[in-house]
């Protein structure tokens, strides 16, 4: 399993994914299910520039509209 875990971590770095990534392997990210309230995948949370949650459990299709709404609100 460590080989797979190492590949997963390398892939995150190679793909420049600086956001929080979790893995279903308990040894990789202990208790992430409870910590992030994630009990199924995928789960999308949209954060603002200050890392505050502005939307959670949204679909990928909802992201553009939410970002547009945020941009309009700032004007």
Convert the pLDDT of each residue in 47-74 to its tens digit. Answer: 888 888 889 989 989 999 999 998 888 7
* Segment (H or E) for 32: helix 32-35
User: What is the per-residue pLDDT across 12-22, written as a single tens digit (0 to 9) for each?
Assistant: 999 988 877 77
Find the domain containing 33 and state its range: 1-38
Same domain, 1 and 27: yes
Q: How far apart are CA 3 and CA 16, in angstroms?
A: 20
Same domain, 15 and 33: yes
Same domain, 14 and 28: yes
**pTM, two decimal places:** 0.54
Q: Maximum Cα–Cα distance for the chain, whole Å?
A: 49
């Amino acid at each position: 399993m460590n080989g797979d875990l190492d590949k997963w971590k390398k892939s995150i770095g190679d793909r420049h994914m600086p956001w929080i990534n979790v893995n279903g392997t308990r040894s990789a990210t202990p208790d992430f299910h409870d910590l992030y309230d994630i009990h199924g995948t995928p789960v999308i949370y949209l954060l603002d520039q200050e890392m505050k949650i502005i939307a959670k459990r949204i679909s990928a299709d909802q992201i553009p509209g939410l970002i547009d709404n945020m941009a309009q609100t700032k004007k």
